[in-house]
């Protein structure tokens, strides 16, 4: 176990998707960034980021590599996990329009809808007020993004679009955003997650 003040070891699930961008962000924040592809690697990390990508492919690969059940166990045991875009879908307890047989890891008491805003051509950007983050609004990039249709009693919304749709949520050690903060130079959501990880390690 590392001592207080030393860099955290933040894993990024590297089965598919834009995991390299998250590795860069974590490193830029002064923490140790490592890829996670095997169950044994979960024992070596303080927190985990599940990146954007294709949630149905991530689901299949996590089961193929016998990683899904260990991930569920780690989440249940309190491992801090941050899911962006497809990662949010993976953390949701309920998926409303999944592919046939698609499963999630669960943990977040939310219902999500995949590709809620249309195809990649319908990608957009919007400034969001996020009260838990100090400073100016968050400039959020949405690419084939999911939306949180329902927030259960165990979860809390952190940010909404102008029309009220929820696009950022948290529940205990879990954090999820519909958008891609790794694609901007505003890393406050990553910093917020790192603080969750540091608090748990302390």
Kindly list the catalytic residues. 85, 180, 182
Helix (H, G, I), strand (E, B) or coil at 161: coil
What ranges make up the beta strands (E) of the chain? Answer: 9-13, 32-36, 47-50, 81-84, 92-95, 108-113, 124-128, 138-142, 147-151, 156-160, 166-171, 174-177
Q: What is the dihedral of CA 33, 36, 42, 47, to 10 degrees?
A: 40
Contact 18, 50 (CB under 8 A): no
Task: Find the length of the chain.
Answer: 202
Q: Which residues pair with 113 in a beta bridge?
A: 147
């Amino acid at each position: 176990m590392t001592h207080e003040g030393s860099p955290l070891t933040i894993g990024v699930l590297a089965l598919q998707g834009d995991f390299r961008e998250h590795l860069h962000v974590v490193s830029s924040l002064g923490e140790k960034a490592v890829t996670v592809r095997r169950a044994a690697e979960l024992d070596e990390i303080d927190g985990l980021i599940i990146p954007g990508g294709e949630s149905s492919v991530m689901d299949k690969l996590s089961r193929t590599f016998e990683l899904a059940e260990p991930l569920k166990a780690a989440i249940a045991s309190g491992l801090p996990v941050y899911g962006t875009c497809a990662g949010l879908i993976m953390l949701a307890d309920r998926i409303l329009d999944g592919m046939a047989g698609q499963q999630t890891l669960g943990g977040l008491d939310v219902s999500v809808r995949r590709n809620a805003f249309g195809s990649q051509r319908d990608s957009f950007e919007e400034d969001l007020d996020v009260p838990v983050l100090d400073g100016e609004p968050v400039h959020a990039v949405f690419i084939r993004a999911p939306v949180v249709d329902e927030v259960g009693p165990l979860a809390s919304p952190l940010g909404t679009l102008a029309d009220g749709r929820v696009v950022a949520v948290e529940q205990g050690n879990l954090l999820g955003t519909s958008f891609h903060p790794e694609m901007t130079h505003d890393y406050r959501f990553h910093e917020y997650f790192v603080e969750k990880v540091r608090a748990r390690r302390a």
